[in-house]
Structure 1
């Protein structure tokens, strides 16, 4: 039984929603106590998610130059980066937990996404 329940369109909705969260949550959670990278990396990643989503070949893409499979590969790279970021920059407390939780969510979304 395959559990690929997230369609490309639903994945697009998740992408744009995640971008909003990545941009706003560092402000709301007061990230950056252990390092400024915790604050700014999230915001820059959120902006990058918007760009990649606009460029992805799915229903919510606009320019549609990145294949959906390539988009999923980029998502995996982001999840891996988020997983190791707290170790690389010695992020403590909420700064570290924020990235580990985001990494887990991204891994889950990619694993549940249809591969088109």
Structure 2
């Protein structure tokens, strides 16, 4: 069942990007490895820029095709699954990435293809 339309995805992008920048500080990430904090903030900044450049309702410059945006989201989801193992994140540091990965991969997998006109 495909539920997430391009418009819904567009409205999710900015809050997700901001949460990736803010939540690491709120949750106190970085106790097992400081990279847990910095990686999320960096990903949030990149996600914000990606959203500004994506060809959807809330894109400002609309340079990147929406399909490219979805590909980047999927890659981020996969990287977030692997990152805690590669960098020995433990506790909340690891769970934060696994939960975010599950959320991102769920949204991407529930993407509703655009209807051709």
Normalising by structure 2, what TM-score? 0.94
Aligned to 2:6: 8
Q: Quote the residue 2:24 is aligned against.
A: 26
What is the CA-CA distance between 1:95 and the residue it aligns to? 0.1
Aligned positions, number: 114
The runs of at least 4 aligned residues of structure 1 exceeding 3 Å deviation read: none
Shift of 1:7: 1.3
Q: Is the 8 A contact 1:69 1:115 kept in 2?
A: no
Shift of 1:113: 1.6
Deviations 1:62-114 (A, max 9, x none): 11111111110000010011000000100000000000000000000001122
User: Which ranges of structure 1 fall in alignment gaps of 5 or more residues?
Assistant: none
Alpha-carbon shift at residue 6 of structure 1 (Å): 1.2
Unaligned stretches of 5+ in structure 2?
A: none
2:50 corresponds in structure 1 to: 52
Q: 1:68 touches 1:115 (CA, 8 Å); kept in 2?
A: no
Once the two structures are superposed, the pairs formed by residues 85-96 of structure 1 within 5 Å of their partners are 85-96=83-94
Q: Which residue of 2 aligns with 1:74?
A: 72
